[in-house]
A and B are shown apart, each in its own frame.
Chain A
Amino acid sequence: MGAEPVPRREVVTARHPGHSDRAAPRPRVSSDARPAAPRHDAATRHVMRHQLRAALLVTALLAGLLGLLPVLLRLLPLATTAPRVPLAVWLVLGVAPYPALLAIGAWYVRRAERNETGPAARLRPERP
């Protein structure tokens, strides 16, 4: 039999179970809320600007590659040659999107990590 006592399982939630409801208006994450140093703020804005640019680029790619596809498929005569759905349509909708999504995602991760560690981010002090 288990010799060591098994601790009681407890539910992990954001607030500790011991907290009463009234004592809670202090959010856990920004509990150290204090005015940020101006230098800090500049660094944050710098990183945010670069990360947002990468994110918007990915969004534009997504909108261009996938977002226009419904209109394209409707405009091209491919689909109206029923009764057979051409293989190309199956490939475009069933196969092609997944490698594309993976490639875009991998590219974004590299770019985002460079934004955080590269020379551009060097002026940043440690985070609060």
Chain B
Amino acid sequence: MNRTYGIAGVTAVVLATVLVGALGLRVSRTTSDFYVASRTVAPRLNAFAVSGEYLSAASFLGVAGLVLAQGVDMLWFPIGYTAGFLVLLVFVAAPLRRSGAYTLPDFAEARLESRAVRRVAGVLVVGIGWLYLLPQLRGAGLTLRLLTGAPGWLGALVVAAVVTAAVAAGGMRSITFVQAFQYWLKLTALLVPVLFLLLAWRADRAPAPVWDQRPVFHRSAEVRVDRPVTVTVREPVGVTVSGTVDGRTVHGVSLLLGEGPHRFGADTTVRFPAGAVVPLPDRTADRALAGWAEPLSSSREQHGLYATYGLILATFLGTMGLPHVVVRFYTNPDGRAARRTTVSVLGLLGAFYLLMPLYGMLGRLYAPDLLLTGDTDAVVLVLPQRLIGGAAGNLLGALVAGGACAAFLSTASGLTMSVAGVLAQDVLPTLGVRHFRLATLPAIAVPTAASALVGDLPVADAVGLAFAVSASSFCPLLVLGIWWRGLTPPGAIAGLLLGGGSALTAVTATIAGGADPGWPHTLLAWPAVWSVPVGFAAMILISLATRDRVPPGTATTMARLHLPEPPPPGPPPA
């Protein structure tokens, strides 16, 4: 990708965001002003904002990358991301808005009248927020590495700094307009290029994407290896190399790579001829070979069906517990508007995700080398250059880079804000609310450090882990809290700790790479199938055992949650 254009695209997005944000700030001078005013935010505008905040790097970059690498069954990710809002709509949206809760700990305290539940919920919000921030920062590092050649950890650090500055300045989250603007930016940044890409694909005589067991270079391709990688060559292939190969430093030399493992050093460029089989790195070789072709194949660590259901449960039930999503529901005027907002979100997310299979398929055709370098998350970023080239390709590439930038900026800011709010209020009591700005530092520093430490985890995969924790802890809390009068504080705590805690432990073990391959690994990598029932069962059973602890105000709270609001009163007498 041409670096000048890419940097220009990212800079333009940052400037436009600041500009729209500044305009929004002029409209509403204080944050509290904004929230009072925001009770009149129309459902449509609010839906743009919810979608803008929700469509993260995992959606913008990750899904297409997973489709490229692992095939059609990866489309369960976007299906789940969208269907999660339907589940949220029918069980949570209106009652949550009517509860008046601003965050999940607020809801827990209001419903159960217990400070202890509030604290446990606060810890889980921080855990989920950090898990969700991790892939955003990885996506940021990847994008900036492709644009500038900077190492990934540096890109993550830069974005973390930008987000910290934005959040500490009070900029991003309070502004509905910024989020709404970023939804349209993200949609445009994928929609416009894909039209040109499809034209180019047609002009290329519309090759049918063939998913045989070995990806092939459809065209002659120059592959740039940023980080050292060992690949397995399956058929001898003649390539042109500049850089280091198998320990030798060469410059523009043609050589024949024999069958077997070969090692490319950092900053090496390899040109493959058309029709050559893409050599895969040892790490992903088995995955990509096993299951590209069939949906629900054994690709997911040999247990595809279990993994798919784990993913479905986690995303369908986990969306309602994401800290940055819940906050946006507070800006609806009433419960009914909250429902209408959510339905619009279903349409907006669907429009966005319809584009994902196209990028995945085109990526499989024209960017299979990403399998070699392991940067499959970059497929959306590199495609315009590959297919179109020239100034048009550069411009479209800049547009896509800007969209990716909007994706991780909006979500990372929303998450940082939520996590910092909880840290300041509930977890670090000595800090107090006034030191909110101090709390933004740990809120983003921890995931930034983690993203530099943990190994390569595909962006969408890491997000799946955050969903699993949310589904096993906050889903039971919200669903039972809203629909069951028998929930007690000890029951809620037990469910949060057992469900959320076990899921959190499982995903931590997965990220740390502790589990053996095979069933133990699969069970830990897709915990929702067992941890969601654990959470529900613990909450119900302990509540039944502590029936005398049902909060005294339950009946009143239930009436508040479920009965529609009275029509807004007229202006108060002056």
Contacts and interface: CB of A to CB of B under 8 A. Distances in A.
Interface of A: 6-15, 17, 21, 24-25, 27-30, 32-36, 40-41, 43-44, 47-48, 51-52, 54-55, 58-59, 62, 66-67, 70-71, 73-74, 79-80, 82-85, 89-90, 93-95, 97-99, 101-102, 104-106, 108-109, 112-113, 116-117, 124, 126-128
A41 B30 contact: no
Contacts of B563: 43-44, 47, 116, 124, 127
B186 interface: no
A13 B30 contact: no
A111 B342 CA distance: 15
A10 B30 contact: yes
A60 to B, nearest CB: 11
A82 B436 CA distance: 55
Given A52-B483, A97-B83, A124-B563, A105 B305 contact: no
Given A51-B562, A66-B312, A13 B556 contact: no
A104 B391 CA distance: 44
Contacts of B558: 44, 48
Contacts of B350: 97-99, 101-102
Contacts of B170: 9, 11
Given A11-B421, A74-B305, A89-B72, A108 B83 contact: no
Nearest to A18: B433
Contacts of B559: 36, 40-41, 43-44, 127-128
Given A48-B558, A105-B346, A83 B211 contact: yes
Contacts of A82: 211-213, 293-294
Contacts of A102: 343, 346-347, 350
Q: Give the interface SS of chain A, mostly helix, strand, loop or mixed.
A: helix
B29 A6 contact: yes
Contacts of B295: 73-74, 79, 85, 89, 93
11 contacts: A10-B30, A10-B31, A30-B113, A40-B559, A54-B90, A73-B296, A79-B297, A80-B294, A112-B90, A116-B336, A127-B566
B354 A94 contact: yes
Chain B CB count within 10 A is highest, among A35, A74, A106, for A74
B316 interface: yes
B555 A59 contact: no
A106 B560 CA distance: 24
B109 interface: yes
Interface stretch (B4-12, B73-81, B276-284, B527-535): B73-81
B46 interface: no
Given A27-B109, A84-B210, A97-B82, A108 B89 contact: yes
Contacts of A105: 85-86, 89, 342-343, 346
B116 to A, nearest CB: 10
Contact of B552 (A6, A14, A33, A109): A33
A47 B559 CA distance: 9
Interface string B544-574: 0000000011011111101111100000000
Interface in B78-119: 79, 82-83, 85-87, 89-91, 94, 99-103, 105-106, 109-111, 113, 115
Nearest to B433: A17
Given A58-B90, A70-B296, A109-B340, 10 more contacts: A10-B31, A14-B105, A41-B559, A48-B558, A62-B83, A70-B73, A73-B296, A94-B356, A112-B94, A127-B560
Nearest to B342: A105
Contacts of A35: 555-556
B83 A70 contact: no
A89 B432 CA distance: 53
B425 interface: yes
B339 interface: yes
A98 B353 contact: yes
Q: Give the interface SS of chain B, mostly helix, strand, loop or mixed.
A: helix
A29 B560 contact: yes
Contacts of B208: 84
Contacts of A128: 556, 559-560
A34 B75 CA distance: 49
B201 interface: no
A85 B213 CA distance: 12
Chain B CB count within 10 A is highest, among A24, A47, A105, for A105
B518 interface: no
Given A27-B110, A105-B342, A62 B87 contact: yes
Given A48-B562, A71-B305, A98-B353, A83 B343 contact: no
Contact of A108 (B32, B90, B361): B90
B357 interface: yes
Contact of B565 (A21, A52, A127): A127
A84 B29 CA distance: 57
A122 B214 CA distance: 65
B309 interface: yes
A90 B433 contact: no
B294 A79 contact: yes
B429 interface: yes
A9 B31 contact: yes
A111 to B, nearest CB: 10
A54 B91 CA distance: 10
A93 B555 contact: no
A13 B425 contact: yes
Nearest to A50: B562
A101 B79 CA distance: 9
Given A82-B211, A84-B211, A13 B87 contact: no
Contacts of A85: 71-72, 211, 293-295
Contacts of A10: 30-32
A3 B99 CA distance: 40
B248 interface: no
A6 B94 CA distance: 35
Nearest to B297: A79
B14 to A, nearest CB: 21
Given A35-B555, A82-B294, A85-B211, A116 B31 contact: no
Interface in B15-44: 29-33, 35
A92 B290 CA distance: 22
A29 to B, nearest CB: 3
Given A30-B110, A93-B72, A109-B343, A55 B100 contact: no
A127 B335 CA distance: 13
